Each structure stands twice: as structure tokens, then as C-alpha cells.
Amino acid sequence: MNKLFALVSGIALSLSSFAQDIKPDWSKSFGATGDVFHRVVEAGNGSVIAVGESSAQTLGGKDGLIAIVNHSTGAVVKEIRYGGAKDDVIYDIAPTPQGFFLLVGYTESIGKGSRDGWLLLIDEKGKKLEEKTIGGTGKDELRQIEITPDGTAMVLAGFKNDQKDGDAWLIRLSLKFEMVWEKQLGSGKYGIPSGLALSTDGGAVFSGNTRKGDKIYAAKIDARAAEVWDQTYGDGEYEEALDLINTKDGNFALAGLFKSKSNTNAWILKIARDGNLLWNNSIGERDFDVANALIQLNNGNFCLLGASNSYRSGARATKALRIRTGSDGRLQSSGYWGGGNDEIWEAATLLHDGRIVVVGKEPGKGAFIGRLPLEDQDNPPIVGVRDQNAVEITEIKLNSQDNQTIQRNENAFLSFRLNNKSGAELGDIKIEVEDRTGTSRLEYWAVNYLGQVGSERSGKIVRIPVRSKDISNGEHNFNLKISSGDKYLTETDVKLVTRVPVPASLQLAGYNYFNSTRSDEVTLRVTLENAGDANSGPTEVIFTPPAGIRPSSTASTNVGPIAARSKREIDFLFTKTPQFTGAVVNVVLVVKEGGTEKIRKTLEGRKGGIGSGGAVSIWTDPDPNEVGNRIKTNSNQKEIKMNVLSEKGLEPKSFKLRVNGVEMEGSKFNEQELSAPKRDTGLFSYTYRNKIPLILGINRVEVVIDGKPSESIFIEYAPQRSNLFILAIGPAHSDLLYTAKDAKDFAEAFRNQGGMDKLYPNVHVQEITTPETTNLTGIKAAMYDLNYMWKDGIITPNDVVVVFLSSHGKMVENRFKILQSGYNPKYENLSVDYKTDVLEVLDRLKCKKLIFLDACHSGGAKDGFDGLSKAVIDLANTHSGVSTLSSCKADEKSYEAQNWQNGAFTEAIMEAFSNNSFSDARGAFQADVNNDRIINLGELYDFLQRRVPQLVKTVIPNAPTSQAPFMPEDQLDRSMPLYFIQK
């Protein structure tokens, strides 16, 4: 376990000059003294649910306590206790996509041990739907729960068997309570986990105190529970970790306490994805201050909640404590609540409108819940939202048993991604659902709260619960209206189909006789189908052959239940004996379900083994028995293969391909292959192959053999679409006026490029143009964020990354440097190294990468522009993994001018994206040469090579050099689509 000494970079900050009394908007107490809430969440419908423990009004010992209140008024919706004769406690709660809630803790009233992990499922009204205990014969507790981002599983943390077999107990279950994996990690290393957060790569981070108890730890596991890293933090006398959260930038933050020789302070730490400490601060006075909970506000700042007796010198009892810090953990304000009677805030949650709900305990009254007042700085203002194009709704999907319909008594949900295209932070997002059918019996949340959707990574997943009870077959029309605060954004309609489930229904889907691998055997293959929506009962298949036919396999087969909407194949093998003289083999098939006969049919075939009607064709690639008769591919071609049995010889001309009902001929279908025949008992056996070019959408494919079509297979061609990631960097320099504006304009041009009807379904835009974000650390961090997004699977191999850089460049010890904001020539090595900080970072992204580089400005380095421009070109030529479009050639400068309010390079790019027309000695020209409204890289490059020199010559006629953009020919992917011209 690596140890990081926390206070090397830590700062101790005082509360006294920042403290103020807090007056909650509303507050409620439940139970009696000693009762406490441990966790609180906001449901998607706006209800606030707190969980904890109570010793009042119980069946014996402690009971799990649940309180449901209105987020706006605090009005109590429900107060519930669950438990038995002994102690039962609830520690944590997490919402599911179906609108239910999973609760974890421990129970001594049920289970097989003295104390077992306790898992409850409740609905939004607190009704218990399901209950499960997990553990062994010792003491087991579940302390934390998180739902995976895809909404299909849960990750739990706690301890098992008094930590005798391992320190930390980690479990992954499906939402149906099915075990995926269970691990006990550490031996004398980890204390009981007090925090759990999921990582974007499918893993999880858990935290707590070390087993010795004097330091704190954080550790990461991957998606299969293998340990990835672990770190310890702190160099005081004692530290304690009490909460762990994900931060907006993909890292993690912890809260707790830090005890030095003189005092005990609240403590906040931020750690990177690899566990390394980024910063930490201890905050407090000379007395006792502790942070039990931590949340990150919409504006990126932090809020710590806990307890303190620093409100008055010599105070012996605590008041509840709230601390606000900046995004760097530095103290901004603090406040106290209570009468000094040991009030404590244990946990908190951020509501959709930016307010905070806190929970804990209030001695003399019981478990406490309250809402803190909103402060002006809590939410960034909604700016830049002009019209409904501010957001985009991706395809709305129904998540149900068959993902197409909602069946009776089914708990389903709608899901889609809401992308923010405004360039501004959008807060207090609300989705209102209206049933416009009028007769629907579906249950759903009429109002769904999403909270904030940030501007940088474009979106959030929306999940809206939909449930059915007494329904009939039909269609139901819903309207979804989306707003941000009081600002209307957009709306859309969705149609839901309800279906009454059909009971299990066994049918004979088909049969074939064909030669077996042994020449004297024939195989009868029967395909049974369950056309119902429920699994069948135990199924028995019985074959009765005629006289003279000797079975080679069992004539009676128990196949068990056949799943709903699925098929099952059963083979019956037999041989002829001399006593068989008939012309037709009649095998009688009987199918029984649960002992009751469901199917009886005589299956007729020919003496040789082939049923009447010509050749028998059997698909082998794709194999419908393995993948069904519907497959999906992102390739525009598909190789197919089938086995064919025939009583007569076949030739290639015997075969025709039929796609979507049309027999295909011509050069596109000239990859047909037909193997040489094999002869078995008078039958010809062939293998047929072909490669089919596919059209977009569904392709129904059949092979027609001497006029007889095969079984149809359906191949959906859906090309994998690329997302676009833009990083625009424009450091400020005193002698360059427009570098920041260049980056802003380039970024702005791409903000509305995302959409299902455009080149890229999603466009992620980040611009860094302020002095604070374009210093040395800011630029390096922005580049490394791209690397993190690749590691986390946000950027995929199919995506496109574009980096735009407008700044000064300089040669330092034969290395090309990009000069950041605040660059000091005295420390010229402290600058952005283009090769290591840009190109090599991008190398790690195994996708398409493109750099627009304008770093040879006429106000440039004292070393002269020739060396700079040549260095840029040399680097572009040697770094084949990245395509670089430079603003000028090796012997040229780049220029900017007040006429353009941009550099010439950026000005020409903006003109290209607007598809403006110009003329030169060669005639008229524009970027979109073929008028298809798509500007590919080749078209843009050709346009820039003509337009940039023209701009410079016109506005700066006495420029010492010309300027013509350059890209190495082997990097110029002319056909790469880059920009969609909107009407």
C-alpha cells in the first residue's frame, strides 16, 4: 500500500472569520433521542428519502427507519420502520431505473448468522417489494451501495465475518439479486469501508481507515474485483475517512477529520483516478471539527457537512457544521446549526434545483432532516440558452422484457440521453410526461427531475419509470416536455405499445431429414418453438418410427422447459433395415408439456432421407440456432455460408441470391463459392459461400436453389457512428490579440454539429481560453483529460479527436514549445513541449486524431520563425499517428489582423464552414466543392491553400512572407468528413 503524506500540500484554514448561523428552509425530526438518519437521496420524482435507525416504536431492538418527505415543503409523505425482534439498521440507499430503491444495512432478526447483510427493495411509497440477506455464520454488514451507470447491477461494500477472512467485503449483484461476484480484500490492511464510488471504467473505489486505524486509505478494483491500486494518506496523529464522492472532472474527493497535536479539523482531499493526491485542506479551529459528508455543488465548489464545537470557546457539545470551499478545497464560508446539544449532520444530497438536504440527529428529538437555503453562488446562471436547439434528445428506448412492448404487471422504464448543445451550464432540468391517449392504464412519474447538465461533456442519461397493471393490447401516446428552471427547451412524442402476455404455446416450427456423419444414418431434426411470453413446462419429445427403421438415438427426450419466444432443436437418428421397403419414411412426433400432449404430427420424408420438395439448405453462418434469424452488423458486407443436401447434383447456376425480395445478379455478387460435392447414400452434400454487399437498414436474405428459397435471415446494416471531441486552446499573450478568440470561434463552430441527422451523433466541445485555464498546468491537464477519457471508454476507437492550438511557439534546446499564458522567458523550459505534452499524449488514443496548429505567429519567438515553422512541419511528418494541419509552410509566418478579429488561418476556416464563395486567378472556389453540405478534410485543405494566401495578400500586402497551410500528404485523409453545413 503506497503512502501519501497529506499535509505536504495541505493548508489549515480557520472557521472563525467565516462562520454564520444557518436557518434551514424547513426541518423535521423523527423518532426519539438516539435515532439517526445515515443517508439521504432525492428520487427522480422529487421525493426525498432518508434512511437510518430507530429505537422508538419498534418490535424490539433497533429497526430500520425510512422517511419520505416533499423536497419543497418538507411535508412528511411516509414514515416507516422495518425490522424484527432484534437490531436491524439501514445504512445506505440507491435509486434504480425502474423507480424503486435499494437499501442496505444489517439485520439480526433474520438470516443464518448472528448478524447478516440486509438488502431491501422498496417503491417510492416505502412499500417493501423484496428482501434478501447475505452473509455467513459470523457478523456481516453492508455499509454502501452504488448502482452501475448502465442501471443493470449494484455494487455493495461492507465487512464479513468480523473481518476474519478479509478486510473489505465487495459484492456485485444484478438488480434481480443474482450474484455476479463476491470478494474479500486485504488482510490487516483495510478498516471497514466508509465510502464507495464507481469509476468510469467499470471499476470501483472504496475508502476508510486503515486496519491500524491511524491513517486513511483509498483502493480501486476493476470490473472483475481485481485490485488495481491502493494508497494511504495523512501524516497527523490520527485521520479518519467518512465520505467519498466522484468529482465532476472524473476524479475523487474524500472528507473526514485530521487530528494534529493541537486540534482536530474537518478534512477534505482530492485524489486522481490513479489514487495520487492532488490537494488537501484541513479546516477548523482549536477545538473539534469533523466532516461526515461531502457533496460537490453545481458550480464545482464543495460543501462539507458534519459537527463542531468551535462555535464557542470551551463548548463541550457540538452543533451541526456546514463548510463551503472552492473547487480547490479552500475555505469560503462556514455556518452552524443547533442549540449546542450535540447536533450532528451525517449525510447530505444535492437536489435538482441546487439546494442541499442534510440528515443526521438532533438529541432530544430524534433523527433529523432539513433543507438548507440556496445561496447565489450555488448554481451558475443559465446563460446562452436562446432556443430549443440548446438540447438534443437521442433515440428514446423502452427498457422492458422484450424492449419493444410493456406487458402486464411489468416494471419498465424509458431511457435516452439529453445532450446539452448550448455551451452553457443548464440547471434544474425537468422532464414533464403527459399521457395523451386518455385511456392509458400505465403508471409513470408525471414530473422527473434531472438536475444540472454540464456544458463540457454534453449530456446525462434520463430514465423515466413506466409500470403496467391491468392493461390491454394497444398503443399509448406520450409527450415529454423538457425545461431548465422556467425556460422551455424542447419536447418530443413517444409511442408505447402494451401487450397482454400470451401463455406458453409450443408449436412445430419445422423439420428436416438429412444425412448424418455416418453414411448409414439419417438425422431427423425437429425445431420446436415456444410462441408464448412465458416459459413452457417440462417438455418431452417422443419419436415413433415405422417398421423397418431402427433408432440410433433415444426415441424419447426430456428437453426441460423451453424459454419464452425461443426455439429448441431435437435430433432423432435412425438407420434403415432390410425390412424397410416403403417409399416414404413416416415418423410420428408427439410433444408433451407437463405430461399433457400438445403436438402430434406425422413427419414425412423420402426413403433416402430427404423430405420432399427439393434440396435442403441449412444456414451455418450466421447460424439461426445460435444467434436467431436476425443479426446486426456495422460492416457494409456480410459473408454467408450454408450446407446444402440434394438428391441430384447442383451447379453454381443453381443458386441465386435474393435480397429484400429481389434476385441479385451482376458483379457485386461474383464472390460465390460452391464446394465440390460429397456423396453419402446417394445424396450430394455441398457447402455454399458468398459475400453480400448490404444496404443501410434491414436486408432480408434468402438463397434460392433451383427455384426453392431457403429460410430467410435478416441482416441489419447499422454503421458504427463516430463521436467528435473538440479541444480548442487559445492562451493569452500581450503581443497576440486574437489567439483566445481563434479558439473560441473554432469551438463555437462545432457546438451545433452533433445530432442523429448530422455527421456526428455527439460532439463534445471544450475550450480553454482564460489565463487560469491556459497556464502550463491547465493545458497539460486538458491534454491528459483526453487520455483519461480514452482510458474510461468515453473516447472509443471509432471516434474523432480534434485539437485546435493558437499560440506562440518557440524553439528551446532544439525542442518545439507552445507558450502558455503567463509564460516567463526566464524559465523557458517551463512551457508546453509539443512532442511530449501534445503528440505523445494523443498517441495513446487509438482513434482518428487531427491537430489544427497555428503557433508560428509574426509576433513569435526571438529565435526567428524559420526554425519554428520547420520544426512544426518536421514533427508533423514524423508523427504518423496524428494528422497535423499547420497554419503555414516551413519558410513562412502566420498572421492576424484587426480586419478579421482572428488569425488568417482561423478566419479562412470560419469562411469554409460558412461555405462562402471567393474568386482568384484560377476562378471561383468554395469549400463544399460537390455541394453535398459536407466539408471533408480534402475540401477544407484545398480551400485553405487558396484562401489563406489571398487573405494575407489583401490585408497585409507588405507581409515579409506569404502564408499557406500545410499538411503532409500521407496524413491527408481527403475523404474524412469533418463539418456539416446547416441550412
411 burial class (0-12, 13-18, 19+ CB within 10 angstroms)?
A: buried
Counted domains in the chain: 4
More confident residue, 814 or 4: 814
40, 351 contact by CB (below 8 A):
no
pLDDT (0 to 100) of residue 614: 64
Band (761; pLDDT cuts 50, 70, 90): confident
φ and ψ of 573, to 5 deg: -105, 140
Asked whether residue 667 falls in the same domain as residue 747, the answer is: no
d(CA 381, CA 289): 32
Q: Is residue 174 part of a domain?
A: no
Predicted local confidence at residue 340, as pLDDT: 92
pLDDT of residue 472: 86
For the record, the C-alpha cell of 777 comes out as 498546468
Cell of 764: 463534445
Query: Is residue 335 assigned to a domain?
Result: no
According to the model, what pLDDT value does residue 458 have?
60
Residue 90 lies in a domain: no
pLDDT of residue 19: 65
Give the pLDDT confidence of 862-904 residue by residue, as tens digits. 233 444 445 444 544 444 478 889 998 877 888 999 999 999 9
Measuring CA to CA, how many Å separate 29 from each of 207, 281, 326, 373? 30, 33, 31, 18
- 3 state DSSP class of 941: helix
pLDDT at 849: 93
- Binned at pLDDT 50, 70 and 90, residue 567 comes out as confident
Residue 759: other Cβ atoms inside 10 A: 20
pLDDT, tens digit (0-9, with 9 covering 90-100), for 39-62: 999 999 999 999 999 998 888 899
Domain enclosing residue 886, as ranges: 724-980
User: Which of 228-232, 565-569, 870-874 tops mean pLDDT?
Assistant: 228-232
597 lies in the same domain as 745: no
**Strand pairing category for 391-393 and 655-659:** unpaired
The mean pLDDT of 602-611, rounded to a whole number, is: 61
Looking at the fold, whether 486 and 526 belong to one and the same domain comes out as: no
Indicate if 627 and 583 belong to the same structural domain: no
Asked if pLDDT for residue 118 goes beyond 70, the answer is: yes
* Residue 237 burial (CB count, 10 A): 12
Question: Is 819 contained in some domain?
Answer: yes
Among the listed residues 873, 894, 963, 937, the one whose alpha carbon sits nearest the alpha carbon of residue 742: 894
Residue 411 scores a pLDDT above 90? yes
* Residues 855 and 793 both lie in one domain: yes
Q: Which of 216-230, 460-474, 611-625, 810-824 shows the lowest mean pLDDT across its residues?
A: 611-625
- Judge if 451 and 405 occupy the same domain: yes
Q: What is the mean pLDDT of the chain?
A: 87
Based on the domain organization, do 581 and 651 belong to the same domain?
no
Kindly indicate the confidence band of residue 147, based on its pLDDT and cuts at 50, 70 and 90: very high
Separation of alpha carbons 155 and 48, rounded Å:
22
Adjacency order of strands within the sheet including 549-551: 506-515, 522-530, 566-576, 549-551
Final residue before a domain boundary, out of 471, 498, 525:
498
Q: What is the pLDDT of residue 610?
A: 45
Phi, psi of 486 (to 5 degrees): -95, 5
Determine the angle formed by the axes of helices 904-913 and 739-750, rounding to 10 degrees.
Answer: 20
Q: Yes or no: say if 701 and 692 are a contact pair by the CB < 8 Å rule.
A: yes
For residues 438 and 533, state if they share a domain. Answer: no
Q: Judge whether residue 393 has pLDDT over 70.
A: yes
How much is the pTM? Answer: 0.69
Which residues lie across from 134 on neighbouring strands?
117
With b for 16 or more beta-carbon neighbours within 10 A and e for fewer, the 483-511 pattern comes to bbeeeebbeeebebebbeeeebebebeeb
pLDDT of residue 876: 45
Q: Are 525 and 551 in a shared domain?
A: yes
Q: What is the pLDDT of residues 626-684, one digit of tens each?
A: 777 788 888 888 999 998 888 788 999 899 988 888 887 654 445 789 999 987 555 78
Q: What is the pLDDT of residues 777-799, one digit of tens each?
A: 889 989 988 988 888 788 988 89
Range 327-342 average pLDDT: 93
| Residue 794's CATH number | 3.40.50.1460
pLDDT of residue 362: 95
Task: Out of 38-42, 580-584, 817-821, pick the least confident.
Answer: 580-584
pLDDT in the model for residue 667: 40
| Other CB atoms within 10 Å distance of the CB of residue 181 | 13
How far, CA to CA in Å, does 759 sit from each of 389, 460, 912?
17, 21, 17
Tell me what pLDDT residue 389 has: 62
- What mean pLDDT is predicted for residues 98-115? 95
In a domain, 180, yes or no: no
412-471 confidence digits (pLDDT tens): 999 999 988 877 788 899 999 998 887 668 999 999 999 998 765 468 899 999 999 888
| Digit-coded pLDDT (tens) for 123-137 | 999 999 999 999 988
pLDDT of 583 > 50? The answer is yes
pLDDT at residue 664 in the model? 77
What's the confidence (pLDDT) of residue 516? 54
Scanning 553-627, the segments in alpha helix (DSSP H) are 624-627
pLDDT confidence tier of residue 384, bands split at 50, 70 and 90:
very low
Confidence at 301, pLDDT banded by 50, 70, 90: very high
What letter would DSSP give residue 581? -
List the grid coordinates of 191.
Answer: 478498516
| Ranges 506-520, 766-780, 808-822, 843-857: which has the least confidence | 506-520
Lowest mean pLDDT among 18-27, 546-555, 591-600, 678-687: 678-687
Q: Whole-angstrom Cα distance, residue 443 to residue 445?
A: 7
Q: Quick one: average pLDDT of 89-118?
A: 96
CA nearest 413: which of 642, 178, 657, 152? 152
Q: Cα–Cα distances in Å, from 573 out to 104, 361, 576, 625?
A: 54, 74, 11, 19
- The pLDDT-based confidence of 209 (bands split at 50, 70, 90) is very high
Q: Which of 153, 219, 180 is nearest to 3 (CA)?
A: 219
Q: Is residue 646 part of a domain?
A: yes
Query: Rounded distance, CA 529 to CA 338, Å?
Result: 68
Q: Are residues 488 and 521 in the same domain?
A: no
Q: Which percentage of the chain shows pLDDT scores above 90? A: 56
Query: Final residue of a domain: which of 433, 467, 498?
Result: 498
Phi/psi of residue 705, nearest 5 degrees: -115, 110
Cell digits of residue 792: 474510461
Q: Are 920 and 908 in contact (CB under 8 A)?
A: no
CATH number for position 486: 2.60.40.10
Determine how many CB atoms are found less than 10 A away from the CB of residue 43.
Answer: 20
**Residue for grid cell 478534410:** 937
What per-residue confidence (pLDDT) applies to 519? 53
Q: Pick from 717, 737, 757: which residue ends a domain? A: 717
Instruction: Say whether both 623 and 678 belong to one domain.
Output: yes
Whether residue 18 is contained in a domain is answered as no
- pLDDT-wise least confident of 478-482, 708-712, 767-771: 708-712
**Per-residue pLDDT tens over the stretch 825-860:** 888 889 999 999 999 999 999 999 999 998 764 333
C-alpha cell at 37: 438518519
963 vs 676: CA distance, rounded Å: 65
Chain centre to alpha carbon of residue 209: 30
Q: Is the separation of the CB atoms in 344 and 318 below 8 Å?
A: yes
| 274 domain residue, yes or no | no
Query: Cell numbers 438536475 correspond to what residue?
Result: 451
Q: Give me the pLDDT at residue 873, please.
A: 47
Question: Is the domain of 634 the same as that of 649?
Answer: yes
